[in-house]
C-alpha cells in the first residue's frame, strides 16, 4: 500500500482559483458590481485576500476571467439552413439576456470596466465579445454563400446592425426589451440584408 501523498500545491492552487471565480460570479449576481469587493470574494471562496491579489489586479480582472471561462464553452450558432430563423433566434436570446436582471448586472459590470480601463477593455472585447460576435459572422457568411444575405454586405457591419440597436436600448433604457421588440429589430435588419 503506497504512502499517502503530500498535498499537491498545483492542485490546491487550481482548487482555490476555481473557488474564487465561482464566488465572484455568485456575488456579482447577488450584490451587483458596484458593491462587490475583493474582500467579499475572498471570504466566500474561503481564501485570503492576498491570494486573490497574487493572481489578479483587482475585481474587474477576476470577473473577466470568470466570464471568459464560460465564453470559451459557448456553442456555435445553430445553422438550420434558414438564416432568417437563425438570426431571429439569436436576437431573441440576446434581448432575453439583456432583460434578465442578473445577466444584465453582469453585462453592466463588464461595460463599466470596458469604459474605465483600456487594458481590460481589450481583454473584454477579445476574450468575451469577439467569440460571441464571430459565431454570428460565421452564420452570416454561410447565409451569403447560400444566397440568403446580400453578397456586398460586410458581415461585421451586419452584426452591428443586429446587435447595436439592442445594446442602445438596453443602455439608454429607451423602451421595453421584449420578444416583440427583438423580432422588430430582426425584421428591420433583414430588410437591409436580404438580396
Instruction: Give yes or no for residue 34 binding a second copy (CB under 8 A).
Output: yes
Binding mask 99-138 for a second copy (x = CB under 8 A): ---------x--xx-xxx----xx--x---xx--x-----
Distance from C-alpha of 90 to C-alpha of 77, rounded to nearest angstrom? 8
User: Near a second copy by CB under 8 A, which window of 4-12, 15-23, 90-98, 167-175?
Assistant: 167-175
Written as nine digits, the cell of 154 is 460586410
For residues 65 and 56, the answer to whether their CB atoms sit within 8 Å is yes
Q: Does 167 bind a second copy (CB under 8 A)?
A: yes
Applying CB under 8 A, the span of 21-29, 36-44, 48-56, 184-192 interacting with a second copy comes to: 184-192
Distance separating the N- and C-terminal Cα atoms of the chain? 72
Buried b (16+ CB within 10 A) or exposed e, 133-172: bbbbbebbebbbeeebbeeebebeebbebbbebbeebbee
Between residues 102 and 192, which has the closer beta carbon with respect to a second copy? Answer: 192
Q: In the complex, which residues of this chain contact a second copy (CB under 8 A)?
A: 34, 108, 111-112, 114-116, 121-122, 125, 129-130, 133, 153-154, 156-158, 160-161, 163-169, 171-175, 184-185, 188-189, 191-193
Amino acid at each position: 500500500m503506497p504512502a499517502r501523498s503530500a498535498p499537491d500545491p498545483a492542485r490546491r492552487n487550481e482548487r482555490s482559483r476555481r473557488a474564487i471565480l465561482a464566488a465572484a460570479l455568485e456575488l456579482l449576481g447577488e450584490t451587483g458590481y458596484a458593491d462587490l469587493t475583493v474582500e467579499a470574494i475572498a471570504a466566500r471562496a474561503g481564501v485570503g485576500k492576498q491570494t486573490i491579489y497574487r493572481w489578479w489586479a483587482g475585481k474587474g480582472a477576476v470577473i473577466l476571467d470568470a466570464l471568459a471561462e464560460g465564453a470559451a464553452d459557448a456553442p456555435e450558432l445553430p445553422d438550420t439552413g434558414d438564416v432568417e430563423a437563425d438570426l431571429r433566434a439569436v436576437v431573441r436570446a440576446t434581448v432575453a439576456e439583456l432583460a434578465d436582471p442578473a445577466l444584465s448586472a453582469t453585462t453592466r459590470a463588464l461595460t463599466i470596466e470596458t469604459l474605465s480601463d483600456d487594458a481590460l477593455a481589450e481583454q473584454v472585447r477579445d476574450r468575451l465579445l469577439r467569440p460571441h460576435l464571430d459565431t454570428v459572422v460565421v452564420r452570416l457568411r454561410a447565409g451569403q454563400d447560400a444566397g440568403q444575405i446580400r453578397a456586398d454586405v460586410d458581415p461585421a457591419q451586419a452584426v452591428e446592425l443586429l446587435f447595436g440597436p439592442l445594446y442602445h436600448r438596453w443602455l439608454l433604457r429607451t423602451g421595453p426589451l421584449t420578444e416583440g421588440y427583438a423580432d422588430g429589430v430582426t425584421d428591420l435588419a433583414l430588410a437591409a440584408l436580404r438580396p
